[in-house]
Amino acid sequence: MSDDRRQPVAQGQAAVFESLQNKAAGELGQDHDGGLNRRSWLVRLEDILVGGFALAALGLCAYNVVVRGMFPSLILELVEEVQVYLIVWAVLLSLGSVTLGDRHVKADLFLSMFPPPLRHACEVFANLLGLGFGLLMLWYGGLAAYDAWDFNEVSTTELRFPMWIFIASLPAGGLALMAGYVRRLFIQLTPRG
């Protein structure tokens, strides 16, 4: 193959390698993306809440596993239901830090081969779409949580858990998602000097 034909292939391979390298740096928490991985107090608070919910779910599960073998009469029947509520809250609250850390599942390998101005425009557009989705989660999740509260909806189990608390995870997750996208857009649209 002549050198003229090899040059575009080598440039394409270099672009793929650079994209993978940037993605790996982002996953390792290195700040190579203009400050998107900086940890604010809000992200740390979110981490504490998400970690607390996850630890509580794990603790409840561990309790039931231990007592099931030794003291079956002490098994808590409500554990499975409460675990689901805690995990759903943890997952939806983590949307903000996942967005800030740019850890959403996405097909960005192709995007990395675009020229920088087009790539930037596509990223801004994608972040605007994400912000819109967060707004929809906030609005419709809030309506659903309000309806559950208004109708005094409770779970069908013996726990009789108020469902508005569970459903309120949707608007909370939407708010976290919106905060992440607003921060990303602010960083992307602020001129660097």
Q: pLDDT by residue (tens digit) across 107-158? A: 777 888 889 899 899 999 999 999 999 999 999 999 999 999 999 999 988 8
Taking the domains of the chain in order of start, what are their residue ranges? Answer: 34-189
Whether 28 contacts 37, CB under 8 Å: no
CB of 26 closer than 8 Å to CB of 106: no
Name the strand (E) or helix (H) holding 22. Answer: helix 3-27
> Residue 167: its pLDDT value, please?
97
The least confident of 3-12, 72-81, 149-158, 180-189 is 3-12
Q: How far apart, in whole angstroms, are the C-alpha atoms of residue 178 and residue 185?
A: 10
Q: Which of 37, 46, 58 is nearest to 172 (CA)?
A: 46
20-24, 89-93, 108-112, 188-192: lowest mean pLDDT where? 20-24
